[in-house]
Amino acid sequence: MKRTFADLHLRPNSTDPAQMAKLARKASELGYKMVATPLPPTASAEEIRKLKAICSEVGLDFVSRADIRPRNQNDLLTLLRKLRRRFEVLCVLCETKEIARQAAKDHRVDLLCFPSLDYRKRFFDRAEAELASGGAAAFEVDIKPILVLEGPTRVRFMSTLRREVSVALEFRVPIIVSSGAIETLLLRKPRETALLASLFGLTGSEALDAVSTNPTDLVQRNREKLRPDFVAPGIRLIKKGEDC
What is the nearest approach in angstroms of another protein to the Cβ of residue 154?
A: 8
Q: Which is nearer to another protein, 127 or 147 (CB)?
A: 147
Stretch that binds another protein, among 97-105, 115-123, 134-142, 190-198 (CB under 8 A): 190-198
Q: Per CB under 8 A, which region of 65-73, 79-87, 142-150, 210-218 contacts another protein?
A: 142-150
Question: Binding marks (x or -) toward another protein, 25..44, rule CB under 8 A?
Answer: -----x--------------
> Left, alpha or beta for 60 (phi > 0: left; psi -120 to 50: alpha)?
beta
Q: Least Å distance between CB 59 and another protein?
A: 19
Determine the interface stretch with another protein among 38-46, 119-127, 183-191, 234-242 (rule: CB under 8 A): 183-191
Selected from 77, 169, 182, 199, the binder of another protein by CB under 8 A is 199
Q: Amino acid identity of 74?
A: N
Cβ at position 96, least distance to another protein in Å? 31
CB of 60 vs another protein, minimal distance in Å: 18
Instruction: Considering the complex, state which of residue 136 and residue 158 has its C-beta at the smaller distance from another protein.
Output: 158
Which position among 49, 71, 72, 148 is part of the footprint of another protein (CB under 8 A)? 148
Tell me the closest approach of the beta carbon of residue 185 to another protein, in angstroms. Answer: 5
- Our finding on whether 237 is near another protein (CB under 8 A) is no
Cα 177 to Cα 143: distance, rounded to the nearest angstrom: 7
**For every residue of the chain, which 3-state class applies, written as one string?**
CCCCCEECCCCCCCCCHHHHHHHHHHHHHHCCCEEEEEECCCCCHHHHHHHHHHHHHCCCEEEEEEEECCCCHHHHHHHHHHHCCCCCEEEEECCCHHHHHHHHHCCCCCEEECCCCCHHHCCCCHHHHHHHHHCCCEEEEECHHHHHCCHHHHHHHHHHHHHHHHHHHHCCCCEEEECCCCCHHHCCCHHHHHHHHHHHCCCHHHHHHHHCHHHHHHHHHHHHHHCCCEEECCEECCCCCCCC
List interacting residues with another protein (CB under 8 A): 30, 146-148, 150, 184-189, 192-193, 195-196, 198-199
